[in-house]
Amino acid sequence: MATKHKGRAIGIDLGTTYSCVAAWEEQNGRAEIIVNDQGNRTTPSFVAFTDQRLIGDAAKNQAASNPSNTIFDAKRLIGRKYKDPAIECDLKLWPFKVVSGADDKPMIKVNYKGKEKCLAAEEISSMILSKMKEIAEAYLDFSLKNAVITVPAYFNDSQRKATKDAGVIAGLNVMRIINEPTAAALAYGLQKRANCSEKRNVFIFDLGGGTFDVSLVTIEDGVFEVKATAGDTHLGGEDFDNRMVRHFVQEFKRKNRVDISGDPRALRRLRNGCEKAKRILSHANDTTIEIDALFQGIDFRFSITRARFEDLNRDLFEKCMEISQNCLDDAKMEKREVHDVVLVGGSSRIPKVQSLLEKFFQRYNLCKSINPDEAVAYGAAIQAAMLSESYSIVPNMVLVDVTPLSLGIATHGDLMGVVIPRNTAIPVKMDGVFQTIEDHQPTASFPVYEGERTKAGENNLLGLFHLSGLPRVPRGHPMNVIFELDYDGILKVCAVDETTGNKNGITITNEKGRLSSAEIKRMIEEAAFFKEEDKKFKKMVKAKNALDDYIYRMEKAMKGFDVSSKLSPSEKETIMSKFRKGKRMLESEEHNEAAVFENYLKRLQKMCQPIVINKVRDYSDEDTD
């Protein structure tokens, strides 16, 4: 980031299951959540492919009838490898097909207009982002480029960069990637600013659809200092749903002796039922899931109690508390020093989670006064306004975030040599001394990793560089390695041999598995292609409707009055046959060009001109323009 960005900006919360967009409203001094074309404040992160492409509510609504081409959970795939153990289980549960592409990158196979297409997770995310962009543009009534996108605090570098790439493919200028709990803290700070002049330690508990994050933030006088952050990028509402689905698949098998686990349509319907039941269980003690003819004509009818649901997910809930404890430990803070516990993310509504948290903090006043579904987008919009020069009135706040994962070099024996420990405030520059292990070692290699595992190989490899031309000296020759991390998360690593002055380093930008600029360019072109196709489809639907409407009205008109004065019976028959042909055209799937229907409509209009002039002018005026 050089200076501030020109033009207005929005904040997008790109969630695993739902996404949300907000913009800063200068005149009101607050951010506004923008409703989508369905009137909803959050949009499902779903993309579906049929003879057209659907994004958001439309995609989720048809999920049960088109399970293998309805893509969701792209956030769980983004920036990961196909072999990643975290998604191994998901691969079995997803009704859509994921294959391993180049560099072990997971690729999603979809059927679009009868043709098979392979899409990267970045492309799916970019489609959701472009939808959010459109929603914002429609509301704000001007075209937008700048955006702040949020990611889970515990996302690693690859996942962050892949998210940024998705933004680029969607035609956005991603001003900053910020952490979800931090964004929520900004929202909390702004909405409760009356209390924020004095020091407050705020614990953000963000349990969303797919990820779990906690952050401890100290707010004082408009400065937001993140003290520590921890999380799990694969723990959220989806996992609770999975547990329920698995439970019911077994119950169904026990009762009816049929296995539905191979039927994607049945699984999708069951999953939708489970998601609904989970929500109900947040306020009711028990509920019944009823799905007619779920499998082989057998109806599904099972009830579940809140206790059973809690029991199914007990270990997951307990994991949340463990991670919360780790975060407090890292921040070196006692539970009683925390002033406020803020709940963020839809799954934070689960009563068991709340009661565990209350027990954990030994307090009964969790902060529920900010909207858990919208706080993240709200905070992102605040950050977006701070980074854009188009706003003159922005909150006087600054954010000092931390690095969620330790950064270091893999040393002899695949040990992780940490240089920047996790939870260090950004920007940061730190160095470490590493030494050669062989006599007369000519070159030293520096594989840069991030992660908490002692074994470097189990962490995330960011890049590799070498320092050559070392002097011919016995082992133990020291080299200084400098790590520098800036606000945008760009890491520069440099190794210096101080005896010779030799220097080498890298800026971590394009590690393996990330999209190359050529690929991004191709995907941008493809996104434009999809957009064009969407437009064509819309145009075709409109043309079809117009033709259908015209035939319907003309038929009615022909029946309704004596046309013999105008037309001979044979003429009438010709016209009627033309109408029948038109109807056949509308019903068949053969034509998908708008022009075909438009032309046919024009021909019909010409033919019917003589009768129209006299009798149904008032009808046809609007059509004959």
Q: Which is nearer to other proteins, 177 or 554 (CB)?
A: 177
9 CB-side CA count, 13 A: 28
- The residue whose two tokens read 């975060």 is 327
φ, ψ of residue 597 in degrees (nearest 5): -75, -35
Q: Is residue 541 at the binding interface for other proteins, with CB under 8 A as the rule?
A: no
Q: Which is nearer to other proteins, 62 or 441 (CB)?
A: 441
Q: Which candidate in 60, 73, 75, 165 is catalytic?
A: 75
CA distance 309 to 158: 34
Q: How far is CA 102 from the centre of its chain?
A: 23
Q: Which residues pair with 291 in a beta bridge?
A: 300
Question: And the tokens for 110?
Answer: 């979809």
How far does the chain reach from its first CA to its final CA, in angstroms?
A: 52
Q: Is residue 351 at the binding interface for other proteins, with CB under 8 A as the rule?
A: no
Q: Which is nearer to other proteins, 237 or 447 (CB)?
A: 447
Give the closest residue to 115 by CA, choosing from 49, 48, 169.
49
Q: Where does this chain touch other proteins (CB under 8 A) — which range of 28-36, 49-57, 230-238, 482-490?
A: 482-490
Question: And the tokens for 284?
Answer: 């009711």
CA distance 609 to 578: 14
Q: Which candidate in 57, 123, 165, 206 is catalytic?
A: 206
Q: Is 581 a catalytic residue?
A: no
Q: Where does this chain touch other proteins (CB under 8 A) — which range of 115-123, 241-249, 262-270, 479-487?
A: 479-487
Give the closest residue to 17 by CA, choosing from 57, 45, 55, 58.
45
Q: How many residues bind other proteins (CB under 8 A)?
A: 48
Which of residues 129, 479, 493, 616 is near other proteins by CB under 8 A? 479
Which of residues 2, 102, 194, 518 is near other proteins by CB under 8 A? 2
Q: Is residue 307 at the binding interface for other proteins, with CB under 8 A as the rule?
A: no
Output the CA angle 598-602-607, nearest 5 degrees.
Answer: 150
Interface of this chain with other proteins, residues 236 to 265, rule: CB under 8 A = none
CB of 391 to other proteins, least distance (A): 13
The answer to whether the beta carbons of residues 225 and 218 sit under 8 Å apart is yes
Q: Is residue 149 at the binding interface for other proteins, with CB under 8 A as the rule?
A: no
Q: Which is nearer to other proteins, 410 or 594 (CB)?
A: 410
114 CB-side CA count, 13 A: 3
CB of 484 to other proteins, least distance (A): 8
CB of 3 to other proteins, least distance (A): 4
Q: What x/- string results for residues 420 through 459 when contact with other proteins is judged by CB under 8 A?
A: ----xxxxxxxxxxxxxxx--x-xxxx-------------
CB of 127 to other proteins, least distance (A): 30
CA distance 485 to 320: 29
Q: Is 180 a catalytic residue?
A: yes
Q: Which is nearer to other proteins, 48 or 485 (CB)?
A: 485
Give the closest residue to 163 by CA, choosing from 154, 150, 182, 153.
150
CB of 93 to other proteins, least distance (A): 40
CB of 438 to other proteins, least distance (A): 6
Q: Which candidate in 73, 134, 157, 180 is catalytic?
A: 180
Q: Is residue 415 at the binding interface for other proteins, with CB under 8 A as the rule?
A: yes
**Strand-pair category, 298-305 with 286-295:** antiparallel
Q: What x/- string results for residues 395 through 414 when contact with other proteins is judged by CB under 8 A?
A: -x-xxx--------xxxx--
Q: Which is nearer to other proteins, 216 or 444 (CB)?
A: 444
Secondary structure element (H or E) that encloses residue 494, with its range: strand 491-497
Q: Is 598 a catalytic residue?
A: no
Residue 453's CB is within 10 A of a number of other CB atoms, namely 13
Q: Which candidate in 13, 157, 275, 374 is catalytic?
A: 13
What residues have CB less than 8 Å from 560, skipping those under 6 apart?
none
CB of 103 to other proteins, least distance (A): 23
Q: Is residue 487 at the binding interface for other proteins, with CB under 8 A as the rule?
A: yes
Label residues 171-208 b or e (16+ Cβ within 10 Å = b). bbebbbbbbbbbbbbbbbbbbbeeebeeebbbbbbbbb
In angstroms, the Cα distances linking 448 to 155, 410, 505 are 17, 7, 11
The answer to whether the beta carbons of residues 94 and 83 sit under 8 Å apart is no
Q: Is 6 a catalytic residue?
A: no
Q: What x/- string results for residues 197 through 236 when contact with other proteins is judged by CB under 8 A?
A: -----------------------xxxx-------------
Q: Which is nearer to other proteins, 428 or 524 (CB)?
A: 428
For the chain, give the longest Cα–Cα distance: 112
Q: Is residue 330 at the binding interface for other proteins, with CB under 8 A as the rule?
A: no
Question: Contact positions toward other proteins, by CB under 8 A?
Answer: 1-4, 220-223, 386-387, 396, 398-400, 409-412, 415, 417-419, 424-438, 441, 443-446, 466, 478-479, 484, 486-487
Q: Which residues are catalytic?
A: 13, 75, 180, 206
